[in-house]
Chain A
Amino acid sequence: MNKKLGVYVCHCGTNISGTVNINELVEFARSQPDVKVARDYKFMCSDPGQALLQEDIKKEGLDGVVVASCSPLMHEPTFRKACEKANLNRYQFQMANIREHCSWVHTDKVAATAKAKALLSGALGKARYLAPLPSKKVPVNPATLVVGGGIAGIQTALDIADSGTKVYLVEREATIGGHMAKFDKTFPTLDCAACILTPKMVSVGQHDNIELMTWSEVEEVTGYVGNFKVKVRRKARYVDEEKCNGCGICQEKCPYKAPSEFDHALSKRKAIYMPFPQAVPKIPVIDKETCVYYKTGKCQACKKFCATDAIDFEQKDRIEEIEVGAIVLTTGFQVFDASKMTPYGYGRLPEVYSALEFERMNSASGPTGGEVRMKNGQKPKSVALVHCVGSRDRRFNEHCSRVCCMYSLKFAHLIKERTGAEVYNFYIDMRCFGKGYEQFYQRLLDEEVRFVRGRVASITDFALDENEKGKLVVRVEDTLLAETRRIPVDMVVLANGLEATADAPMVARTFNISTGKDGFFIEKHPKLAPVSTATDGVYIAGACQGPKDIPDTVAQGSAAAAQVLSVLARGEIEVEAATSEINEELCAGCRICNTLCPYTAITFDPVKETSRVNDALCKGCGTCAAACPSSAIHAKHFTDQQIYSEIQGVLYDARA
């Protein structure tokens, strides 16, 4: 083939020309086959620089352009645009990185120039076989799937739905609300969680653009950004969601009880129940384990009293298929199980509570109606708050859970307020980084809450002297007083850390994203793409990405919504053109490639007995091409031939 290539060497001021002999490099370029023009310029990325190659493309009819300058990660888009403006396909442009990979890292001018030649000749080698690729666009399905109905999911769903587009909100529990629904107050403002959350829950329930799918889980996701197909399992509720009007008579009449999950077993709920009065949707669910009907076939109290005949004991799980253009994961976190830390006696010593149990105890709608009471009904005279339970601990979670310091301060305040008890905080470091947080800490200091700097060793009910009798003794090394102390208290509240949900890896697999060492989902870029993931069209928000307080979670929820809307607004999206392609003439259907694609872009056609690439799914990694034993797979823009030619190029000066 006969190519007409143009070579443009950039001085980048003195960044390149200071180390690389530009003239020598240009001369070298001229000596190369297929090179029609070779020029140099102070700043190729500048307008006149771009104009330079644009003129040549038109005048000389170049069908390939090589710019020797900085890293392609820096300016490839710039020059690709420039080429396109001159009607040269963006994929007929190639860059030689003689700055980051050469002039900036070498000092010896001769060696640097020789290397620059190698890199340029490599780029030329590739350019000789570059081919134009058409840009591909696919339409975007305007609906969105939000997975997880906690505050993050609620925020995201509302923001998107308010813009007038459809949202499916899938929640595995019987109601939305997530952890926040269990809280009484929120730090540092101490405004009531329910007061700010329930209105949002209600508007989700009533929103015309939100289709709420509670008691449901996502089973399978196929497709790609703009066009996902999702299978949702609607678990049998044994209550017809259409018929039920949420009157609650069934709960009243149901004679059987079980510990309430929502109240962490501090109270009981019926066999047919709504987790809590403000639940959305106001539709109960039957707990098959507890319901006597499923054991004896008798009772049916709920059915008898139901005015709308909504009870359906025979209901089965069903799979619903939906199609969406974008997905937001807001699957949240789970709290650390404190019983793993035997010395703290959680589960063994009755007056040792987990943070969420204590939240419920404080809640006006909770088991004690918001009163802080011990099991014996008494008010505690002294309470210990133990920080970092399962956080900042190599044995369990190395990370800091970010919220424990603050919610412990909140607890301290509530305890003081409601019982006047002596309150001790046992902390490693106080981390009060948010807006108004440090001020809140100061306020608590003024309220004469005690702060003991030291990690608690153990909590015991063994008394060494009279004033320890009947109390829980917190043993701790006070690192400020440099002595070990025994502090007797009536009640201990553990600040359980936040950790990734146990099924996070499975969820990650379903949605084709990845989890980090700490188990939380990995964002595309920790700073510049915090709610995007490596999979286009799948976003994450809230504590599923890492421990977060409510303000940060809500902020991320809105951020994810904005990301989604920007995709939907485009109406169509450009998909990578440098994808893989299978030549069916050569594909013998060995199916080696079938399992290799991380995006399941390769499917096997049993009729033709050949494999095929769905280039909307393909991200162009080229793994399949490297493995295809019959060279039937062609990795566009990184073809075997382009790479072999590039290898030949970089070894221009090697003995063959």
Chain B
Amino acid sequence: MTHEPKIVAFLCNWCTYTGADLAGTARIKYAPNVRAIRVMCSGRIDPSFIIDAFAKGADGVLMGGCHPGDCHYINGNFKTFRRMPLVTRYLEQYGIDTKRFRFEWVSASEGDRFAAIVNEFTATLKGLGPLKLRTEGIVVPQPADPSDQKSGGHAPRGAMARPEARS
């Protein structure tokens, strides 16, 4: 059976998420590999989220925001495009093909474009095959639990591990 890549998509509420909704209402069909996580602004997307998604088994990460100049929060996406070039190079240095990470400006009216991007991205990832990371029996570090203020930066193993996450 061919490999079905898993794509985590961080979408801003006002443009790209709405654009994806439009693709839905317009019944534009696209690959089922993308799983959207809604944030209010692409500026909310902490590079750690992207890396965490890869660490947790995503084969690709897609980020969507408003076109620069159209940001609902005036210039939230400015911070996004300031960070993303570094994220790309960070991935590169960690040996992750940068084609596995895309950030796109998709407006609320570009449902068709959202679909096209997902299809194209899925095809690229199928070409690359599953992402193979490490590991000689290393447990993925888990995000810290803020309620646990004294933790060593990385909470004790499996702090947030859920049974379904280990397969």
- Report A-B touching, CB under 8 Å: yes
- A residues near B (Cβ < 8 Å) are 32-33, 71-74, 97, 99-102, 104-108, 111-112, 114-115, 118-119, 121-122, 125, 512, 514, 534, 578, 585, 596, 598-599, 619-623, 625-627, 631, 634-635, 638-641, 643-656
Given contacts A101-B20, A648-B165, 12 further A-B contacts (CB under 8 A): A73-B21, A100-B25, A101-B24, A105-B29, A107-B29, A112-B32, A114-B32, A621-B40, A625-B46, A626-B43, A651-B53, A656-B140
- Nearest residue (CB) in B for A641 is B146
| Bound: A635/B8 CA distance, A | 21
Measured between beta carbons, the chain A residues less than 8 angstroms from B143 are: 640-641, 644
Would B165 and A650 count as touching, CB distance under 8 A? no
B6 and A654 contact, CB distance less than 8 A: yes
Q: What is the CA–CA distance of A118 and B32 in the complex, to the nearest angstrom? A: 11
Q: Is the CB of A654 within 8 A of B58?
A: yes
A-B contact pairs, 7 of them (CB 8 A): A73-B17, A100-B20, A102-B32, A121-B164, A639-B146, A648-B160, A652-B164
Q: How far apart sit A441 and B140, CA to CA, in the bound complex (Å)? A: 75
Top-8 shortest CB links A-B: A654-B57, A100-B24, A623-B43, A622-B44, A621-B41, A598-B74, A621-B73, A650-B35
Quote the shortest CB–CB distance from B71 to chain A (angstroms): 8
Residues of A within 8 A of B24 (CB): 71, 99-101, 104-105
Known contacts being A107-B29, A115-B35, A621-B44, is A653 close to B74, with CB within 8 Å? no
Q: Is the C-beta of B49 less than 8 angstroms from some C-beta in chain A?
A: yes
Given contacts A650-B35, A652-B164, contact A101 B21 (CB under 8 A): yes
A643 vs B44: C-alpha distance in the bound complex, in angstroms? 10
The interface on chain B, measured as residues whose beta carbon lies within 8 A of the other chain's beta carbons, has a size of 58
Nearest A-chain residue to B115, judged by Cβ: A105
A-facing residues in B12-47 (Cβ within 8 Å): 13, 17-18, 20-21, 23-25, 27-30, 32, 35-41, 43-47
Residues of chain B within 8 A (CB-CB) of A512 are 74
Q: Are A115 and B43 touching (Cβ within 8 A)? A: no
Tell me, rounded to whole Å, the shortest Cβ–Cβ distance linking B24 to chain A: 3
Known: A33-B163, A623-B44, A638-B40. A106 touches B140 (CB 8 A): no
| B165 & A652 in contact (Cβ 8 Å cutoff) | yes
A623 touches B53 (CB 8 A): no
- CB of B37 within 8 A of CB of A622, answer no
Nearest A residue (CB) for B55: A656
B40-A514 in contact (CB<8A) = no
Q: Does the CB pair A640–B46 fall under 8 Å?
A: yes
- List residues of chain B with CB within 8 A of the CB of A596: 43, 79
Q: How far is the CA of A625 from the CA of B146 in the complex (A)?
A: 13
Q: Give Cα A112–Cα B58 distance, bound, in whole angstroms.
A: 18
Cβ contact within 8 Å between A100 and B21: yes
A612 to B121, CA, bound (A): 40
The interface residues of chain B lying within 8 Å CB-to-CB of A656 are 55-57, 140, 165-167
B residues in contact with A106, CB < 8 Å: 29-30, 32
B162 at the interface (CB under 8 A from A): yes
Interface membership of B110, Cβ < 8 A: no
Contact status B8-A651, CB under 8 Å: yes
> For the complex, what is the distance from the CA of A125 to the CA of B79, rounded to whole Å?
27
Q: Is B145 an interface residue, CB under 8 A from the partner? A: yes
Q: In the assembled complex, which residues on chain A have CB atoms less than 8 Å from the CB atom of B23?
A: 100, 105
List residues of chain A with CB within 8 A of the CB of B156: none
Interface residues as binary, B62-78 with A (CB distance below 8 Å gives 1, 0 otherwise): 00000001001111100
CB distance from A487 to the nearest CB of B (A): 44
User: Does B52 sit at the interface, judged by CB under 8 A?
Assistant: yes
How many Å lie between the Cα of A644 and that of B20 in the bound state?
22
From known contacts A119-B36, A622-B43, infer whether A104 and B25 are also in contact, taking CB-CB under 8 Å: yes
Report chain A residues within 8 Å CB of B20: 100-101
Q: Decide: B76 and A623 in contact? CB cutoff 8 A.
A: yes
Q: Are A115 and B32 CB-contacts (below 8 A) given A622-B41, A652-B164?
A: yes
User: Is A631 in contact with B32, judged by CB distance below 8 angstroms?
Assistant: no
Q: How far is the CB of A92 from chain B (nearest CB, A)?
A: 17
Which residues in A have their C-beta under 8 angstroms from that of B27? Answer: 104-105
CA distance A107 to B40 in the complex (A): 29
Which residues of the partner chain B approach A118 to less than 8 Å between Cβ atoms? 35
User: Are B37 and A646 in touch, CB under 8 angstroms?
Assistant: yes
In the assembled complex, the CB of B16 is this many whole angstroms from the nearest CB of chain A, namely 12
Nearest-neighbour CB distance to chain B for A600, whole angstroms, equals 11
B8 touches A650 (CB 8 A): yes
Q: How distant is the Cα of A41 from the Cα of B134 in the complex, in angstroms?
A: 44
| Nearest CB in chain A: distance from B121 CB, A | 15
Q: Which residues of A contact B160 (CB under 8 A)?
A: 641, 644-645, 648
**Are A73 and B18 in contact, with the CB atoms below 8 A?**
yes
Q: Which residues of B contact A638 (CB under 8 A)?
A: 39-40, 44
How many Å from the CB of B53 to the closest CB on chain A?
A: 5
Whole-angstrom distance between the alpha carbons of A74 and B13 in the complex? Answer: 12
Question: What's the Cα separation between A32 and B163 when bound, in Å?
Answer: 9
A57 to B40, CA, bound (A): 27
| A640 B25 Cβ-Cβ under 8 A | no
Which residues from A are CB-within-8-Å of B149?
585
Asked, given contacts A651-B53, A651-B165, whether A627 binds B79 with beta carbons under 8 Å apart, the answer is: yes
Q: B69–A514 contact, CB under 8 A? A: yes
Shortest Cβ distance from A474 into chain B, in angstroms? 40
Residues of A within 8 A of B41 (CB): 621-623
The digit string for B129-167, where 1 denotes a CB below 8 A from any CB of A, is 000000000001001111001000000000010111111
Q: Complex: how many Å from CA A115 to CA B34? A: 8
> A112: which B residues are within 8 A, CB to CB?
32
Q: Which of B8, B38, B79 has the most CB of A within 10 A?
A: B38
How many whole Å from B77's CB to the nearest CB in chain A? 9
Residues of A within 8 A of B25 (CB): 100, 104
Q: Which residues of A contact B13 (CB under 8 A)?
A: 73
User: Would A644 and B52 be within 8 Å (CB), given that A627-B79, A655-B57 are in contact?
Assistant: yes
